[in-house]
Amino acid sequence: MSAHQDRVGQWSMALVVTALLAAVASACGADVNDDVAGGRGGAIFGANCASCHGAALEGSDLGPSLLDPMYASDQMSDDRFRSAIRNGVEQTRWEFGPMPAMGGLGDAQLDELLEFVRASQEAGTTVTMP
């Protein structure tokens, strides 16, 4: 093999490796639901809220359905929603007991979570979760 062919082979291999690394990096950083409203919010919901409010926001024995009309944006403002998540809520309407505060979520996470919940409410069901 000539030096030129060897260099071409090395460049070809470098291009293949670079393309492969770019694809892997893109896949690692990409949320499978980036094109669906609330893709990351769905993961945040799953990790922090689904155990009480159900994986599809349908509610459970521990918490109400967030698809209930009382939680719709025309009934509960985004600010009230954020406050409930950050500060918790005393038992008022439901028999589930008080909702604990979820103080560990930052503003960006709350925005993504709320985007997911609102998109699910508008769809009448949960949007695809990661």
Where are the chain's structural domains?
1-30, 39-130
CATH topology of domain 39-130: Cytochrome Bc1 Complex; Chain D, domain 2 (1.10.760)
Q: What is the chain written as a DSSP string?
A: --HHHHHHHHHHHHHHHHHHHHHHHHHHH--TTTTSTTHHHHHHHHHHTHHHH-TTS---SSS--TTSGGGSTTTS-HHHHHHHHHH-B---SSSS-PBPP-TT--HHHHHHHHHHHHHHHHHTSPPPP-
CA 125 to chain centre: 15
The pLDDT tens digits for 21-65 are 333 333 444 333 343 445 799 999 999 999 999 999 999 999 999
The pLDDT tens digits for 5-17 are 554 444 444 333 3
Res. 3 pLDDT band, cuts 50 70 90: low
